[in-house]
Structure 1
Amino acid sequence: MTSIKGILAAVATPFDQDEAIDEAALREHVDGQIEAGVHGIFALGTNGEFFVQSAEERARVARVVVEQVAGRVPVVIGAGAVGTAETVRIARDAAAAGADAVSIISPYFAAASQAELEQHFRTVAGAVDVPVIVYNIPARTGVNVAPATVERLAQVDNIVAVKDSSGNFDTILQYLERTDRDSFSVISGNDSLILWTLLAGGTGGISGIANIYPGTMASIYDLFVAGDVDAARSAQDSIRPIRNCLALGNPNTVVKAAANARGAWLGPCRAPFNLLPAEALETIRATVQADLARGLR
């Protein structure tokens, strides 16, 4: 897996009402995503709620996802943690489970310098024999992986991509300007910027909204590749109402509530990130109904 391209579904981890992992629902959800046309599965990222799972649970989810995908599309497993040693352990486990690549979020809670970030990613990349994706999400980690840092990391043999969830399109542009597009992929982690990233020279997106509308998200890339940019823009623009719902609460909770409203049961988020007021739930339900009536899929 030398390049990351297309729409990878950032699959949620389904939990039952007791907050236990719902393996049957996870398998069904993975199948639904692939059948809808997504180009890859990204598990145990932000939407996968890696941050509320134990190392043993993360290992179990990774193995279930790889097994269920069964080689139909590439699988990327989120393997980040606060410390480098723990990140290496999780990344090695994901590689042993059969992941095609691992995504490494920048360390969080304690502020890391750019030199510390670079050393962290280099150490992890040197410890695994699968491709590594740098995951930049400063709103959650408190640190931005600078374009100059990504430029240096792109020279590491098995660091093959960066996923940017900063929401700052200029960051994506700088990543593109500083890396070789033939050997390094720049991917949008923000659903609203996928088409614009493709137009700028990026290779795709890792999509949380795919949990709700996988066919629509996959079509952005498919239409773009087919040369129908107008239709790709219509698909991109069509997710604005559900994206607006993300302001109603924890985005992971909103995504699960919307998927549940559509009939793709993902259960609740784990506490304490699982409460939405009744009016928010009604807004989400009404938005999903209107989206389906408009043809989102």
Structure 2
Amino acid sequence: MSSISGILAAIATPFDEDENLVESALRAHVRRQLDAGIHGIFALGTNGEFYAQPPTERAEAARIVIDEVAGAVPVVIGAGGPTTKETVAIAKNAAAAGADALSIITPYFAAASQDEITAHFRTVAASVDVPVIVYNIPARAGNAVAPATLEKLAEVENITGVKDSSGNFDTILQYLERTDRKTFDVISGNDSLILWTLLAGGAGGISGIANIYPQTMASIYDLFVAGDSEAARAAQDSIRPIRNCLALGNPNTVVKHAANARGFGLGPARAPFNALSAEAKSQVEATVAADLERGLA
């Protein structure tokens, strides 16, 4: 597989109240996405709380997801770490488990130069024989992949795409300008920019909101491909209320609480990133109820 397109669900990892991974809930959540028509599964990314899981648990979650999908759609596994050595180990494990592609976040916490970032991705890509997707999320990682750096990385045979979660649409445009759209996929990691990325020539989006409304998110791409730009715009605009709720706390916690309000049984986020005020919970629940009334699904 050399291309990723459409809407990939950035699935949350279900935990119980004691913060144990719940295999049955993870399988059910994957099946929920597939039944809704999602075009791919992106597991163990930011929404999947990879940063809060030890390598053994990440490996187990990856195995479960890949097994449940069973080839129905592409599976991208988040395989990043703060150091190159750790990332290579995680990447090899995910590739061996059967991932169709790997998402590799920039090194994080410590500042990294563009040369160091380039070397990191080249080394990881050389260690596996599956496609690698660069994950740019500077607000969380503290390091950004400059457009000129991405242009260099796109020349590596198995670095085949980028997920941009910077929230800066100009970054997406520069990525598109500096890469070959026929061989390199530029994917929005920001739900609000999916349609605009498609219109600019991007390949699709990796969506956290799909945890709550998978059918609605998948429809943005389906309607766009069908040429119904008005309906695609309506679907894109329809997620604004729940997107506004992300400011109420840790976005992963908000997404899980919203999905749980739909009865999806994803459990809590891991402490300490799991506290929402009673007021915030009420606002999220009211937003979900109103969204469902409006037809989001």
Question: What TM-score do you get using the length of structure 2 for normalisation?
Answer: 1.00
Establish whether residue 264 from structure 1 lines up as the match of residue 264 from structure 2. yes
SS in 1 for 2:218: helix
CA deviation vs aligned residue, 1:143-194 (integer Å, no higher than 9, x gap): 1100000000000000000000000000000000000000000000000000
Q: How does 1:174-193 map to 2 (within 5 A)?
A: 174-193=174-193
Name the CA distance, whole Å, in 2 between partners of 1:264 and 1:36: 13
SS in 1 for 2:222: helix
In the alignment of these two chains, the number of paired residues is 297
Secondary structure of the equivalent of 1:107? coil
Distance 1:279 1:58 in 2: 33
Q: Provide the residue aligned with 1:80 in structure 2.
A: 80
Q: Deviations over 1:51-88 (max 9, x none)?
A: 01000000000000000000100000000000001100
> Aligned-pair RMSD on alpha carbons?
0.3
Structure 2: where are the runs of 5+ without partners?
A: none
Match of 2:9 in 1: 9
5+ unaligned residues in a row in structure 1: which ranges?
none
What's the CA shift for 1:277? 0.4
CA distance in 2, matches of 1:8, 1:126: 25
Q: Please report how far the alpha carbon of residue 287 of structure 1 lies from its aligned counterpart in structure 2 after TM superposition.
A: 0.2
SS in 1 for 2:7: strand
1:234 paired residue number? 234
Deviation of the 1:141 alpha carbon: 0.8
1:43 paired to 2:6: no
Deviation at 1:122, TM superposition (A): 0.3
Q: Please give the alpha-carbon distance, in whole angstroms, between the structure 1 residues aligned to 2:213 and 2:37.
A: 11
Name the CA distance, whole Å, in 2 between partners of 1:144 and 1:201.
Answer: 22
Letter in 2 for 1:245: C
**Which secondary structure does the structure 2 equivalent of 1:275 belong to?**
coil
SS at match of 1:268: coil
Q: Distance in 2 between matches of 1:68 and 1:184?
A: 28
| SS of alignment partner, residue 275 of structure 2 | coil
Query: For residue 58 of structure 1, what is the aligned residue in structure 2?
Result: 58
Match of 2:134 in 1: 134
Please give the secondary structure, in 1, of the residue aligned with 2:177.
helix
Map 1:139-288 to 2 at 5 A.
Answer: 139-288=139-288
Given the two structures, how large is their TM-score scaled by the length of structure 1?
1.00
Aligned-partner SS, 1:124 = helix
Shift of 1:10: 0.2
Read off the aligned partner of 1:213 and give its amino acid letter. Answer: Y
Query: Whole-Å Cα distance in 1 between the matches of residues 48 and 257 of structure 2?
Result: 14
CA distance in structure 2 between the partners assigned to 1:64 and 1:143 by the alignment = 31
Q: CA deviation at 1:140?
A: 0.2
Counterpart residue identity of residue 94, structure 2:
A
